């Protein structure tokens, strides 16, 4: 009977865990719908600003804008690491950390400085004594565009002070609900490829091209950061939803196995008791 009690306790525990994972899946699915909608709205806006800048950048001197200036040397490299504050999202955080370590190894630990968004990435690199310039705690509690602007200001300020020569961002790109892709993009200095297919037209710009580009480039920079945040947040919710769905199914299978084990143990106990009764009855009759 002690074995039956133990199995019954295991079934109760796994059932409780299954309820939690199912609830977490539903919460992640609700957050995913909203975050995916915001992310899909940001993509065309960012692309449109970029196309406008590309159309005008040929006639602009890059040295006029600090965000476009190419570094003279490549001694220090900055990394913007975007992870989550919580786990239980499969390999979402692990993949970001592994990719970051690979890229840091290329430049050297002493030549790399980090800007950490998300508790998981910060804790990992802080314990290993990496140079973390800025950490944004409780970042995902209230995600908004002002936060992206604050991050942009911090990066531009450090870049202007020549604390590093370039900044790269590592984040999860949202492909679909079942698939997220680790991406490594150069963030600073901004680099716009010249569009060779532009048809020259006699167009009068008001205000001037320089003023338009001066206005669009900072906006594009902040929008890029905002898009990275939205992509990462949607990817996190998708990864957590899939992970919790798998955990719920695994719990279901485990409960089925435990119930089968329980029934076998109970049947064995009943059979043993019946044999003892029959044996006792035969002993009394003799």
- Which pTM was predicted? 0.82
- Say if CB 63 and CB 69 are below 8 A apart: yes
Domain borders along the chain are 20-244
Please give the CATH number for the structural domain made up of 20-244: 3.40.1380.10
Identify the pLDDT of residue 83: 93
Which mean pLDDT values do the consecutive 10-residue runs of the chain (286 residues) have? 80 92 91 87 83 72 65 78 88 92 89 91 91 87 86 86 86 87 86 58 66 78 90 92 92 91 84 78 75
- Residue among 43, 47, 168 nearest 113 (CA): 168
Identify the pLDDT of residue 94: 92
Strand partners, 136: 117
Query: Listing from the earlier edge strand, what are the strands of the sheet with 179-188?
Result: 132-136, 112-117, 77-82, 166-176, 179-188
Whole-angstrom Cα distance, residue 266 to residue 261?
Answer: 9
- Kind and range of the H or E element at 175? strand 166-176
Identify the pLDDT of residue 68: 67
Identify the pLDDT of residue 70: 67
Which structure tokens are listed for 261?
């084990």
Looking at the chain, how many residues does it have? 286
Identify the pLDDT of residue 204: 66
The residue whose two tokens read 């989550």 is 84
Identify the pLDDT of residue 47: 83
């Amino acid at each position: 009977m002690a074995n039956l009690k133990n199995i019954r306790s295991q079934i109760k525990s796994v059932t409780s865990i299954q309820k939690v994972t199912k609830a977490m899946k539903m919460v992640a699915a609700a957050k995913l719908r909203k975050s995916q909608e915001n992310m899909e709205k940001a993509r065309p806006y960012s692309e449109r600003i970029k196309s406008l800048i590309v159309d005008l950048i040929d006639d602009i001197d890059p040295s006029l804008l600090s965000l476009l200036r190419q570094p003279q040397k490549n001694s220090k490299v900055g990394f913007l690491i975007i992870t989550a504050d919580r786990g239980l999202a499969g390999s979402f955080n692990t993949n970001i950390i592994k990719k970051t370590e690979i890229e840091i190894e290329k430049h050297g630990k002493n030549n790399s400085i980090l800007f950490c968004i998300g508790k998981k990435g910060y804790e990992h690199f802080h314990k290993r004594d990496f140079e973390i310039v800025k950490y944004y705690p409780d970042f995902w509690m209230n995600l908004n565009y002002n936060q992206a602007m604050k991050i942009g200001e911090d990066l531009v300020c450090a870049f202007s002070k020549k604390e590093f020569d370039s900044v790269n961002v590592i984040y999860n790109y949202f492909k679909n609900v079942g698939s997220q892709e680790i991406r490594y993009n150069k963030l600073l200095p901004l680099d716009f490829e010249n569009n060779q297919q532009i048809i020259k037209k006699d167009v009068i710009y008001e205000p001037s091209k320089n003023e338009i580009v001066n206005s669009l480039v900072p906006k594009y920079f902040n929008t890029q950061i905002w898009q990275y945040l939205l992509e990462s947040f949607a990817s996190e919710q998708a990864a957590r939803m899939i992970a919790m769905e798998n955990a719920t199914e695994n719990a279901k299978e485990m409960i089925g196995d435990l119930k089968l084990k329980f029934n076998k143990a109970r049947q064995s106990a009943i059979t043993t008791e019946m044999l003892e009764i029959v044996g006792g009855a035969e002993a009394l009759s003799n």
